[in-house]
Structure 1
């Protein structure tokens, strides 16, 4: 059933969740945030629930195999608008989807599956079907958290990047110079909410006054396109510090000495953290000592021997060449016994220690996998984002941040990590202490900890906070209990449960395949929803202003095929069959559109046109009135020719205020008048 259409089918007002593992329980919670009725099926009753109040959220809880038709019938599948099939067994999920489709051809199917080819085939056969891999869904949420608290959502729409921002206006901000909030609405930006420092954000859209001034401390929520923002990393200052000046002012010998001391210090600490390097250092020093002592002894025992000859003979012995020097049995009588024994010991020791060095070199070559890749970018010095854990989630976050031109560094503790991944990203592969030290954590602006090990995430998060208390810390968890505990332990960190985030997307998809994205605003879930206008739609023939203010949604895209999409479209566009529209809406807004019910506050404002200063104002004023109010052009011209006069077409307050402002630009003065006869001059 097309959302926004009138249908002869009975209303499907229930939602079914099959599988109450961690993901299933969070799906129930997410659906209840939408205010809908939820029924659940779980195979075996668990000893305890991860969400303690789960049973209170359900209309009915049934235990058994969700693949059985009789069990699905008892779960009222015939009345279910959508079924979220999220067991941990993908075969069970697919079989359940097939069974549900046989019982109810209209139920929306949202399943948990990582098999892309199978998902495409099932979509073709079953219809009204979508599948997600829950480990991939939280990527956007972690990316948003890494960017900071201002960014509420980020999504792609028709190849354009859009983001939702919640921003508190600082003192001296350029926006404080505007005459009113309405001036911020442009072709690339749309205001969603505006409040002062004493008022909390409203739970519905369009509750702000377009003529209100913007003051320091006010909060603005708005959506904007990529054309209106550039998320570029902060550049490091090109001005040298005093310490740098002092270093460069020294003579070359002192700079060289300082450089060598730094390298030696770094090498020594790296040997303490990596045992293999320590072994290599010890073996190397022993071989060097044997080489020097052997050279000296040979020169003492044979005074006529040159330094080069003694050095070469000692090196040959260390490399196992005892037979090369003492291979002639008849000549051995001329060589002192102590020198023969010493040379034999030298050869044996050299074989042992040089052999160790050979082994370590071979290990280093093998661990490098002979990857002669182009050099990665250097590790950023400051204001960068550190991504710890480069599994599928970490790689996804890194890709997203690179698209946003953020300065990042990836960090993994897996020494066998595939170094061909994300070649444009600075990469650190080492153990914990060394990796954190190399990542310049003390000067990072954000740290994202997303390994697959919850305990490791906890440990690394605590280490990161100890190193940099000012960094924006984002931590991945799986369970509710650990999330709550970590939130108490790290109150400034953003702790995101992977399943809780994924459940929001599953729940959003349950309301139709036209749900593009989901985010939270003022404790409300906002759905980015797409509509295709049909002749039986409740939206057919309405102005976008009537859609926006009547149903409490925010249109952000309009397309009249085959024309290209228009972002932040004009309120004066009238929807016709075939049009495509994308709106921001709460679940209540979607319900009103589906049922064709306008909000409680109707059109209760009219516009009284007082006078026009010029004849051109009369002509242009009529065009503006017809365009914004939706009345006929003849009605508008008749009004302008009989001033003062009140427009008979009722309007929503934001619509009426915009009309008055537009008339003022052509030197036509008007007021808005409420149906209670209270007037307000603009």
Structure 2
């Protein structure tokens, strides 16, 4: 595996490929970062052994180059690699390098980092077409995995949302659904444990590490059991479990908002006082119509017609009419005088309502149970989209009125407080004292920290997730906040750490949806076709389950021609979700089916026809 980049994502991706997938990695970085990468990733030239797990760790080889030129990629042996990741911060640099890499190795699997979604879609199609032309007759499944364009902001957003909702970053995204590995302690006597979607593992320890690293390693305790069968789970009631759960929203329902779309309820366009005044005018017209009918012997329709003419002052004066008719005409004219200012007020009020519908909303006074999102930049905008897709109340705080996410917040009708979050009153205006969580995602570490401390002063038990770039600084901040507020949840998250697993999974092939750590072990999630796998084809879900190896979690119900090639990065429209998670154990898997499985490294290697250390993979293009 070759990784080319110039920031923390490249470094983290190299570690992810080595530690989780046991791949041999060549890291191409600028010379000024070479010393740091060598120290952090271990470039000794010999294999190391992890004393806790006893596994062999292959070192990362570092190649220095100011840019991903053809010569630099040849020194990294891209022409012999299984996959290449281009994760430079600049979209144009990644674009140029991807085109050059496709010429060097037409069958190379490419993973490209791009923020521009539209350009990324075009690049994917172009590079896939180039691979098809260079390698005629390329298998469709292999072609679908030949190029993957990802954004670090997009891939980090689900984990940030899960941190705010469920206090975890052990998240896998499949077909728009967020799944988390939740650690449950051993149940008390007589208590029935929550099985979730399924039990993924039995822990060696029943207590969670307070630092947030669930399931601490204990040499005297039994090793964690991955993918145990039901009998083993029932016989190990004294041990904690890791279960698979869906991340769902909690909190009050959002009020309807239709002004930003077609149509608008009268309650939003016209105020209550205006509606009561209009009702009074209508009641007066009806009363005058009834009186005219009774006192002048006119037909009810003719009486209503005369009343409206008098109301709008377009009828002839009733000079020669009986006194009764004259009095009724005067009363109708008086009601008409009240109608004119009412119509003007209604027009002005409706105009103002529709004007403010396109402006930024202010947080409602009674709002509570929401999430306060600080920063509407590249990452904040993606997180806002994900939160609103989950129908979660959000209040945004942004200093720059021209920030990337301001237009998005306006379109979604999300309340926004414009101002510096470090100034007095800004967090109060966002109703942070009534919020359930705070996501500090600005581009400044000090701003995020200051906002967190200010929010803690307003609500000491507020759940906080802050974005920090420097790992040492993040560790110091986390330990200090945990000591100062032991009853509150505080998590520091790095976008590169959250995005690296998705990029690593794409390098392994699009069938890899993600990985979740369980103590010192790793569970992989993958989408595999049943065809070609005798372990699945013609078997029931129960028969396809191998304890400690793999387990079928879901079935893709979409037609084969309509299936998404990349389940980990599909849209979030519930109408287009096709995965069925509640499978009956007796359901028979057929040749044309596709399933989502959880597997150990060794189990997935057996299914894909590769060795457990990943030295040969059946998922590559070469």
TM-score normalized with structure 2 length: 0.61
TM superposition shift of 1:110? 0.6
Pair 1:534-2:520 in alignment: no
TM superposition shift of 1:465? 2.4
Q: 1:232 aligns with which of 245, 250, 262?
A: 250
Question: Structure 1's 533 and 596: CA in aligned 2 closer, same or farther, altered over 3 A?
Answer: farther
TM superposition shift of 1:457? 1.1
Q: 2:184 aligns with which of 159, 162, 167?
A: 167
Count how many residue pairs are aligned between Structure 1 and Structure 2: 440
* Matched residue SS, 1:49: helix
Question: Structure 1's 66 and 426: CA in aligned 2 closer, same or farther, altered over 3 A?
Answer: closer
Which position in structure 2 is the counterpart of 1:558?
555
Q: 1:190 aligns with which of 198, 210, 227?
A: 198
TM superposition shift of 1:177? 5.0
TM superposition shift of 1:513? 1.6
CA contact (8 A) 1:387 1:449 kept: yes
Q: Deviations over 1:330-383 (max 9, x none)?
A: xxxxxxxxxxxxxxxxxxxxxxxxxxxxxxxxxxxxxx9964548666255544
CA contact (8 A) 1:532 1:581 kept: yes
Which position in structure 2 is the counterpart of 1:107?
108
Q: Compare relative contact order (CA 8 Å, sep 6+) and give the higher one, 1 or 2.
A: 2
Question: Structure 1's 554 and 52: CA in aligned 2 closer, same or farther, altered over 3 A?
Answer: same
CA distance in 2, matches of 1:550, 1:197: 20
CA RMSD of aligned residues (A): 3.8
The gaps in structure 2 that reach 5 residues or longer are 44-57, 129-145, 208-214, 217-222, 254-352, 483-488, 561-577, 614-622
* Matched residue SS, 1:233: coil
CA contact (8 A) 2:34 2:62 kept: no
Which position in structure 2 is the counterpart of 1:42?
29
Question: Structure 1's 145 and 162: CA in aligned 2 closer, same or farther, altered over 3 A?
Answer: closer
Which position in structure 2 is the counterpart of 1:662?
none
Question: Structure 1's 512 and 447: CA in aligned 2 closer, same or farther, altered over 3 A?
Answer: same
TM superposition shift of 1:541? 4.9
* Matched residue SS, 1:534: coil
* Matched residue SS, 2:160: helix
Q: Deviations over 1:236-260 (max 9, x none)?
A: xxxxxxxxxxxxxxxxxxxxxxxxx
Alignment of 1:244-323 (within 5 A): none
TM superposition shift of 1:523? 4.8
CA distance in 2, matches of 1:594, 1:532: 11
Alignment of 1:532-611 (within 5 A): 532-535=529-532, 539-541=536-538, 543-545=540-542, 547-549=544-546, 552-559=549-556, 562=559, 565-595=579-609
CA contact (8 A) 2:9 2:500 kept: yes
TM superposition shift of 1:154? 5.7
Which position in structure 2 is the counterpart of 1:146?
164
Alignment of 1:107-126 (within 5 A): 107-126=108-127
Q: Deviations over 1:609-628 (max 9, x none)?
A: xxxxxxxxxxxxxxxxxxxx
Question: Structure 1's 570 and 389: CA in aligned 2 closer, same or farther, altered over 3 A?
Answer: same
* Matched residue SS, 1:549: coil
Question: Structure 1's 44 and 412: CA in aligned 2 closer, same or farther, altered over 3 A?
Answer: same
Which position in structure 2 is the counterpart of 1:611?
none
Q: Deviations over 1:618-671 (max 9, x none)?
A: xxxxxxxxxxxxxxxxxxxxxxxxxxxxxxxxxxxxxxxxxxxxxxxxxxxxxx
TM superposition shift of 1:163? 4.5
CA contact (8 A) 1:26 1:503 kept: yes
* Matched residue SS, 1:231: coil
CA contact (8 A) 2:9 2:496 kept: yes
CA distance in 2, matches of 1:445, 1:436: 13
Q: 2:513 aligns with which of 489, 500, 516?
A: 516
Which position in structure 2 is the counterpart of 1:133?
151
Question: Structure 1's 109 and 537: CA in aligned 2 closer, same or farther, altered over 3 A?
Answer: farther
CA distance in 2, matches of 1:29, 1:597: 20
Q: Deviations over 1:187-216 (max 9, x none)?
A: x82222345864758655223653755999
Which position in structure 1 is the counterpart of 2:281?
none
* Matched residue SS, 1:473: strand
TM superposition shift of 1:561? 6.1
CA contact (8 A) 2:185 2:239 kept: yes
Question: Structure 1's 452 and 46: CA in aligned 2 closer, same or farther, altered over 3 A?
Answer: closer
Question: Structure 1's 586 and 98: CA in aligned 2 closer, same or farther, altered over 3 A?
Answer: farther
Pair 1:402-2:388 in alignment: yes
Return 513-522 or 433-442, whichever deviates more: 513-522
Which position in structure 1 is the counterpart of 2:372?
386
CA distance in 1, matches of 2:75, 2:516: 33
Pair 1:459-2:477 in alignment: no
Which position in structure 2 is the counterpart of 1:478?
469
CA distance in 1, matches of 2:558, 2:401: 52
CA contact (8 A) 2:153 2:382 kept: no
TM superposition shift of 1:407? 3.8
Q: 1:421 aligns with which of 410, 419, 431?
A: 410
CA contact (8 A) 2:554 2:595 kept: yes
CA distance in 1, matches of 2:203, 2:33: 46
* Matched residue SS, 2:453: helix
CA contact (8 A) 2:501 2:515 kept: yes
Question: Structure 1's 115 and 501: CA in aligned 2 closer, same or farther, altered over 3 A?
Answer: same
CA distance in 1, matches of 2:416, 2:201: 40
CA contact (8 A) 2:555 2:583 kept: yes
Q: 1:25 aligns with which of 2, 6, 11?
A: 11
Question: Structure 1's 79 and 194: CA in aligned 2 closer, same or farther, altered over 3 A?
Answer: same
TM-score normalized with structure 1 length: 0.56
CA distance in 2, matches of 1:447, 1:560: 37
Which position in structure 1 is the counterpart of 2:274?
none
CA distance in 1, matches of 2:532, 2:377: 48
CA distance in 2, matches of 1:177, 1:211: 18
CA contact (8 A) 1:461 1:475 kept: yes
TM superposition shift of 1:233? 0.7
Q: Deviations over 1:545-597 (max 9, x none)?
A: 45431662232212466497532424444544322111123444322221278
TM superposition shift of 1:49? 1.6
CA contact (8 A) 1:165 1:221 kept: yes
Alignment of 1:73-88 (within 5 A): 73-88=74-89
* Matched residue SS, 1:138: helix
TM superposition shift of 1:449? 0.5
CA distance in 2, matches of 1:539, 1:196: 30
